[in-house]
Structure formats: structure tokens, C-alpha cells
């Protein structure tokens, strides 16, 4: 029997198992699962380090993580932010032997590190499963690309509006219209200075689009925010 602690990690009802068992036999999945390692990360801890040896596939059971690119100069760029449950695969993990970016926990997170070789074995035997996982990964890429496009075309107003909407809809969903992010992280996501973020957020507050107390930001007028996101 599972102990209470192990049960907290949800091996019996985990989302990854549920999704996998749509395609593969529970026994095959169980064999694969035996090769994986359960880990907890606290807010701020680095899960994968840019430039480090790739740790294979990662399943984020619960929590919120950011994909960061770190420059030699020391500054960071956040490529995307995702919440669990989600498979974190793709260019960083599927095929490369070295991580091309870092993955850092933004909230306390629980993950499973999956064994690449065991995964490949499972995938080769179940192409429909592989296809479903690739599709899942592509969705994450697509979200990231739309953020890049907003970044390429819009001024800081529009970029920050896009980011606030993204965080509301895709990350902090299911908790009303408010969430907690630092100005520094918004700056790293929007690729601008933190001073500019502060000024922009203050302007949004003056105009009644958002409200904030400390790090907690609340969206008041989402229609207007969407218009700013579109028009730049």
C-alpha cells in the first residue's frame, strides 16, 4: 500500500498516467514509471540549468514554472510560463543533450523526471502516444510564439497587456482576475526594463484597467486590456 506521503504525489491518479493510459497499457506505463523520479521544488529553485546536461523528459504535476534564457551579461529573458499538470518536453528536452534554457519553479512544484530511454521504448511501441505528446508540446510552443510575435510588433503597453492576459488565462486561471507576479519577472517576460513595467502598470491603474496592492495584480477592465494587447 502507498503511504500517506507517497499518496500525496498522486501516483495512482496522476494526470500523466491518465493521459498515457489512453494510449498505452497500464502495465507498460507502470514499467516506465518505475524508471522515473519524484521530486519537489520550492519557489525559486532551479529545476534544469541552462547549459547543463539534459535531464530528459519532465512531467510537471503541480506548480508553476518559467523557461528562462540567461545572457552572459547576467540578465534573463523569460520565454514562457506554464502551470501543471503539463509535460515539459520539446526542443529543450526531447533531443538535445544540453539544455538550451533553464527551467525554474515560480511556485512550489512537484515533478517527475522521466527516463529518456524508457520513454523512447514506450513511444516507439505506441506511435499514437508519441503523436499525442508531440501535439501537446507543439501547443506550448505555439503559445510561446504568439508571445514572441506580440513582443516583436508591440510597444511596451501592448506587450504587458498581452502578458497580463496570458497569465490570467493560461497560468493563473481558476482564481478570478487576480494573481501575484513580481515586476522584475514581468520585465523579464516583456523584455524591457523594470522601471518601464512600473510606469506602465501605474498608468494602467490610473486608467482603471487594473488594480494592485504590492505584488497582487487584479484585472478590472479585461476588454480594454484586450484592445491594448491587439492594437499595441
Partner DNA sequence: CGCGAGCTTGACGTTGTTCAACTAGAGTGG
Partner DNA sequence: CCACTCTAGTTGAACAACGTCAAGCTCGCG
Q: Is there binding between residue 230 and DNA (CB under 7 A)?
A: no
| Cα torsion angle, 158, 160, 165, 170, sign | positive
133 burial type by CB count under 10 A (0-12 exposed, 13-18 middle, 19+ buried)? buried
131 binds a second copy (CB under 8 A): yes
Query: Which of DNA, a second copy, none binds 98 (CB below 5-8 Å, type-dependent)?
Result: none
Residue 77 engages a second copy in binding (rule: CB under 8 A): yes
Binding mask 120-159 toward DNA (x if CB under 7 A, else -) reads -----------------------------------xxx--
Q: Which is nearer to a second copy, 50 or 178 (CB)?
A: 50
Check binding of 222 to a second copy (CB under 8 A): no
Q: Is residue 191 within 8 Å of 156, Cβ to Cβ?
A: no
* 2/7 Cα distance (integer angstroms): 6
The per-residue b/e assignment along 151-189, b for 16 or more CB within 10 angstroms, e otherwise, is: beebebbbbbbbbbbbbbeebbeeeeebbebebebbbbb
Per CB under 7 A, contacts with DNA among 180-219 are: 182-184, 191-196, 198-199, 201-202, 215
Q: Binding residues for a second copy, per CB under 8 A?
A: 69, 71-72, 75, 77, 79, 90-91, 94-95, 100, 120, 123-128, 130-131, 134-135, 138, 141-142, 144-145, 148-149, 151-153, 191, 230
Amino acid at each position: 500500500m502507498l503511504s500517506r506521503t507517497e499518496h500525496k504525489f498522486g501516483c495512482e491518479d496522476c494526470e500523466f498516467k491518465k493521459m498515457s493510459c489512453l494510449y498505452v497499457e497500464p502495465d507498460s506505463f507502470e514499467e516506465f514509471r518505475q524508471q522515473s523520479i519524484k521530486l519537489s521544488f520550492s519557489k525559486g529553485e532551479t529545476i534544469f540549468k541552462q547549459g547543463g546536461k539534459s535531464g530528459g523528459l519532465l512531467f510537471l504535476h503541480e506548480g508553476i514554472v518559467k523557461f528562462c534564457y540567461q545572457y552572459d551579461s547576467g540578465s534573463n529573458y523569460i520565454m514562457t510560463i506554464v502551470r501543471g499538470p503539463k509535460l515539459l518536453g520539446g526542443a529543450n528536452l526531447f533531443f538535445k543533450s544540453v539544455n538550451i534554457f533553464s527551467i525554474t519553479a515560480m511556485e512550489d512544484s512537484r515533478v517527475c523526471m522521466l527516463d529518456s530511454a524508457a520513454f523512447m521504448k514506450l513511444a516507439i511501441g505506441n506511435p499514437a502516444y508519441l503523436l499525442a505528446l508531440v501535439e501537446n508540446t507543439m501547443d506550448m510552443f505555439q503559445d510561446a510564439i504568439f508571445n514572441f510575435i506580440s513582443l516583436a510588433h508591440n510597444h511596451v503597453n501592448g506587450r504587458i497587456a498581452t502578458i497580463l492576459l496570458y497569465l490570467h488565462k493560461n497560468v493563473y486561471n481558476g482564481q478570478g482576475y487576480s494573481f501575484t507576479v513580481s515586476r522584475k519577472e514581468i520585465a523579464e517576460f516583456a523584455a524591457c526594463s523594470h522601471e518601464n513595467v512600473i510606469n506602465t502598470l501605474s498608468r494602467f491603474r490610473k486608467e482603471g484597467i487594473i488594480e494592485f496592492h504590492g505584488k497582487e495584480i487584479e484585472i478590472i477592465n479585461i476588454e480594454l486590456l484586450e484592445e491594448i494587447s491587439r492594437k499595441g
